[in-house]
A and B are shown apart, each in its own frame.
Chain A
């Protein structure tokens, strides 16, 4: 049973456009929702994260929107650049115990110049 579902699997966006990646979770005990960016041959790097007590968090060109009632959250990349081309993973965790991350299946983003 996949606890965090991510879509789309792949995304092609023109330079300057908006990239949107969506995730849905099932476990209501999750209370931390990070997004990771992974380049080929590298480990995932934390991009931005949100707690469920806020509906939106913005850091530069990256924004997380969070809908607690729908159990959904999304990543928006404004003014997408070719350097943003990477695989993006949403994840979820509980703030107790192991605090291990449950990952979505990833979205391969390609930003065309």
Chain B
């Protein structure tokens, strides 16, 4: 059973606010990911981290930023929320292994709605 937690689960907030979405995992995984998912649509990678203090932008351009100060914690921040940021944000992590593929484990997501 994967242990990856996202908070809040739902957030409705006004335009211009600063938002931080939390993601924590207790498995000690080095690799962590943020995906964005619009309702009924596929997931798109927006951020990736391969370890502490190492982050990269994903395939889908996003105005959000991330940080990785601790292995278990990978928060996503929007400095000034806009209605276009309304979406579901999913965090995932995976173990690193020299040989073979380790699956990504997902949290239950944060459904964000910007008014």
Chain A interface (Cβ < 8 Å from any Cβ of B): 6, 32, 34, 36, 41-46, 49, 51, 87, 89, 93, 95, 98-106, 108
Q: Give the distance in Å from the alpha carbon of A21 to the alpha carbon of B9 in the complex.
A: 30
The answer to whether A93 and B101 have CB atoms under 8 Å apart is yes
The answer to whether B103 and A44 have CB atoms under 8 Å apart is no
Identify the closest chain A residue to B111 (Cβ).
Answer: A41
Main secondary structure of the interface of B (DSSP, over half): strand
Contact with A along B34-61 (1 / 0, CB 8 A): 0000001111110010100000101100
Identify the closest chain B residue to A91 (Cβ).
Answer: B43
Q: Tell me how far the C-beta of A101 lies from the nearest C-beta in chain B, rounded to whole angstroms.
A: 6
Q: Tell me how far the C-beta of A9 lies from the nearest C-beta in chain B, rounded to whole angstroms.
A: 9
The answer to whether B107 and A99 have CB atoms under 8 Å apart is no
The answer to whether A49 and B103 have CB atoms under 8 Å apart is yes
* Inter-chain contacts of B105 with A (CB < 8 A): 46
The answer to whether B42 and A89 have CB atoms under 8 Å apart is yes
Quick check: is B22 within 8 A (CB to CB) of the other chain? Answer: no
The answer to whether A44 and B90 have CB atoms under 8 Å apart is yes
Assuming A34-B103, A41-B108, A95-B101, is B48 touching A100 (CB within 8 A)?
A: yes
* Inter-chain contacts of B6 with A (CB < 8 A): 43
Quick check: is B94 within 8 A (CB to CB) of the other chain? Answer: yes
* Inter-chain contacts of B40 with A (CB < 8 A): 87, 106, 108
The answer to whether A100 and B33 have CB atoms under 8 Å apart is yes
Q: Tell me how far the C-beta of A26 lies from the nearest C-beta in chain B, rounded to whole angstroms.
A: 14
Residue among A34, A44, A46, A89 with max Cβ neighbours from chain B (10 Å)? A44
The answer to whether A101 and B45 have CB atoms under 8 Å apart is yes
The answer to whether A89 and B43 have CB atoms under 8 Å apart is yes
Identify the closest chain B residue to A98 (Cβ).
Answer: B48
The 9 closest A-B pairs by CB, nearest first: A43-B106, A103-B42, A32-B101, A46-B103, A103-B43, A43-B108, A100-B45, A105-B42, A44-B106
